[in-house]
Amino acid sequence: MGKLVVLKIISGDWERGFPVALQIGEEDRLPTTEEFGNLPGCSKLVEDCEQWQYSYKHLPVLLRLDIPECQETNISNREKCRQAAEVLCNTLNSWLDSESFRPLKERLLKKLPESEPIRFVIQTENPQLQQLPWHLWKFFEDYSQAEVALSAPHLEAIEKISTAKNKVRILAILGDSEKINISKDREFLENLPDADVCFLPEPTREKVNDCLWSEQWDVLFFAGHSRTEGETGRISINKEDSLTIGELKNGLKKAIERGLQLAIFNSCDGLGLARDLADLHIPQTIVMREPVPDEVAQKFLINFLKEYAENSRPLNLALRHARERLQGLEKDYPCASWLPVICQNPAEIPPTWQQLRDGVGQDGIAPQREKKSILRYFTYPMLAAGVVALSIFGIRKAGILQPVELKAFDRLMENRPLEAPDDRFLIIAITDEDLRYQNEMGMERQGSLADAALEKILKKLKPHKPRAIGLEVYRDFPVIPKSSDRADLEVQLQETPNFFGICKGGDSAASKGISPPSEVPPERIGFTDIVLDNDGVLRRHLWRATFETNSACQSKWSLSLLLALEYLRSQGIESKKTPESNLELGKATLKYLEQPTGGYQKLDDWGYQMLLNYRNTKRGQLPKSVTLKDFINNRVNPDWVEDKIVLIGVTALSFKDYFATPYSRNRQLSEKIPGVFLQAEMTSQIISAALGDRPLLGFWPQWGEFLWIFGWSLAGGLLAWQLRSCWIFVARTAVAIVILYGTCLFFLIQGTWIPLVPSALALVFTEITIVLTPKIAGDSKE
């Protein structure tokens, strides 16, 4: 496809100099290089250019110029014109070799291969810069496949209508031919291969306008007299009438929308015409920068059409070849090879003659091959997306992304909408002060809770009829024999049907764990074992397990599940085991995690685990709690107890029963929450899901996650495939990642954790792949 170089000179002047931006990239691709520099002020260059123009316009030749009667036509010496040309050439190259511009020149030499086609676009609206003979820059002597083009600074691609056909449609306007021979131009056009030419010899303005409106054209050709007045071009369509581009504006806009790709003005002084056509966003315009001798115009046209139509050269190279062949006429016509210039829209790829023949839309695709071309258009992005997606998916399967995915999961959890704490719970917290309180009151403690304190709690709870009571304190010892309240406490532990104790199954096969209270029946014993991730964060909820036969804990249900079942039983909801060994509970089904699942590609999947759907409450806001001392001394609202789940547990810092959650900013104790509150979270999750209030967190199947990752990989490929501006590229990538994050957050709120990190990596790495492999991409599009 070749390279595209854009040199932007948007501001500045000849006194202070010009800031410039240089972009280098592949055709139809985002620039891979962007450099900034300066061209110094050089009023001498303007003077030398004007001196050359003065000498050239007074040569004794027959011009295709509409000369007003008052204009001088004195004949100047040809040698004087050549000398002025040589001075201008030297000044131009000295200017372009200035120290402030040299880094950009060196970048060009480093980045551009000499053997590859190069479209070099000078983007400026300064008329004096446009008039410079840029092709004389010594850079183009080393790059024979490069041709310079002019461009306005603000251009856009126009969506065009494509029609299937097998001819190049040419509207040829043969204007005023006084003292020139444009019949030769007609002869050349008539002999073009695969061309359908409509000739308008000396037409009226109405006729030209009607033709532009009524039919579809690929090429607009004009031969005859023309001139530039100020900065406005004017063509003489017959002996009496002349037109500006503005006077044909609507018709030309319609023609461009219908597919007009190229305008050729084989007439004098056409830069004004080119500027006016650029305002209409025509893709390609070929004009003569100065008055052109009749023989030169004819020679250029025949050579250009031969290179472009017959030899199938790219448009820019066809123009360079035809322009350089004019050097053979410079004995009689000095500087003839300076005259032809192409003005282009960098956003449009110059069409080949074959594309004009077959029908070219905005994307350069021939309609009759549309399906095949669309497939080709997507081939490389899809190939790159597939390779990147498979690579990312493979890396993910190996567990390499798991730590990052879990961190991203934490941030998503944190960004969900805020929720109120579950008011179905009351926590009786045993603080460090409560430990001292029990000692001061003469209560004999074994661990954190004295028998007397527990007996008092149970007695005070009974009148208020809580739904369930959970003791989240290990009691692997019997009631103290000498306790005066032993009989009462034993009876309460045995006969309180909604009281549940705990045990621990052990952290390893060698550990026997912690025994349950001997006074509590086995059916009211739940384990409190948890599963932590490698970073110490508790994200999973273990609700069923089978422990070793030598374990002190043989309960297969967690405390949180038993409490939830007890609460839901009073709501008329019973559990039911499914054929898949899951647990159906009201509107929810408790499923177990299988490896690999979601962001967990490597995990200890023993027992029945599920993700823990924490409530996203305001920071530090937990379920209602009361200290043991306050509860025993009746400093609690009875409404906090009635019909609630009461959990009794330790929050004393000295016991360090604290755990990190997805909301923990660091691993400091102050960022963790006590185990008793975790039991509340786990119980709340099950109850809320069974009642249909909040969802359990789930995943897509592996194939669904791969398609999701591949989709974002393809999106990255398409974003990088068509863009030129680095800033647009970065902005669109940022928007895509924001959309990805928002979509993942939305799904998580609904109860599904979908891949965020792998999708973002696939998006970015596919973009990088597309940007860094321009040659492969270019080959796939050709």
Say yes or no: 146 and 185 in one domain: no
Nearby residues of 28 by Cβ (< 8 Å), 6 or more positions away: 1, 349, 722, 778, 781
Question: What pLDDT digit, counting tens, does each position of 615-632 carry?
Answer: 999 876 789 999 999 999
Q: What percent of the chain has pLDDT over 70?
A: 91
| Residue at 389 is within a domain | no
Number of separate domains in the chain: 4
The CATH number of the domain where 270 resides is what?
3.40.50.1460
pLDDT (0 to 100) of residue 620: 66
DSSP labels, 487-535? HHHHHHHHH-TTEEEEEB--SSTT---BPPPTTS-GGGEEE------TT
660-664, long-range: CB < 8 A, 24+ apart: 660/535, 660/536, 660/537, 660/538, 661/537, 661/538, 661/539, 661/614, 662/409, 662/410, 662/413, 662/414, 662/537, 662/539, 662/614, 663/410, 663/413, 663/414, 663/614, 663/616, 663/619, 664/537
Say yes or no: 476 and 610 in one domain: yes
DSSP single-letter state for residue 77: P
Say yes or no: 704 and 756 in one domain: yes
The strand pair at 168-174 and 219-223 is best described as: parallel
Residue 442 pLDDT exceeds 50: yes
Say yes or no: 710 and 604 in one domain: no
Question: What pLDDT digit, counting tens, does each position of 654-669 carry?
Answer: 998 999 999 998 878 8
Domain boundary residue, one of 374, 403, 436: 374
| Residue at 132 is within a domain | yes
pLDDT (0 to 100) of residue 217: 94
Say yes or no: 683 and 704 in one domain: no
Question: What pLDDT digit, counting tens, does each position of 367-393 carry?
Answer: 443 444 455 556 888 899 999 999 999
Say yes or no: 244 and 316 in one domain: yes
| Residue at 629 is within a domain | yes
Say yes or no: 683 and 725 in one domain: no
Question: What pLDDT digit, counting tens, does each position of 188-237 carry?
Answer: 999 898 899 999 999 999 999 999 999 999 999 999 998 888 778 899 99
pLDDT (0 to 100) of residue 759: 97
Question: What pLDDT digit, counting tens, does each position of 707-744 carry?
Answer: 999 999 999 998 887 665 677 788 889 999 999 999 99
Say yes or no: 351 and 461 in one domain: no
pLDDT (0 to 100) of residue 775: 43
Say yes or no: 550 and 631 in one domain: yes
Say yes or no: 582 and 631 in one domain: yes
Residue scoring higher pLDDT (396 or 484)? 396
Say yes or no: 82 and 182 in one domain: no
Question: What pLDDT digit, counting tens, does each position of 56-103 carry?
Answer: 988 876 555 444 443 444 446 689 999 999 999 999 999 999 999 999
Confidence of residue 31 (pLDDT cuts 50, 70, 90): confident
Min mean pLDDT across 91-105, 152-166, 462-476 is at 152-166
Min mean pLDDT across 6-10, 187-191, 338-342, 771-775 is at 771-775
Structural domain for 442, as ranges: 420-690
Residue 772 pLDDT exceeds 70: yes
Say yes or no: 335 and 458 in one domain: no
How large is the average pLDDT for residues 292-310?
A: 93
Q: What percent of the chain has pLDDT over 90?
A: 69
| Residue at 162 is within a domain | no
| Residue at 326 is within a domain | yes
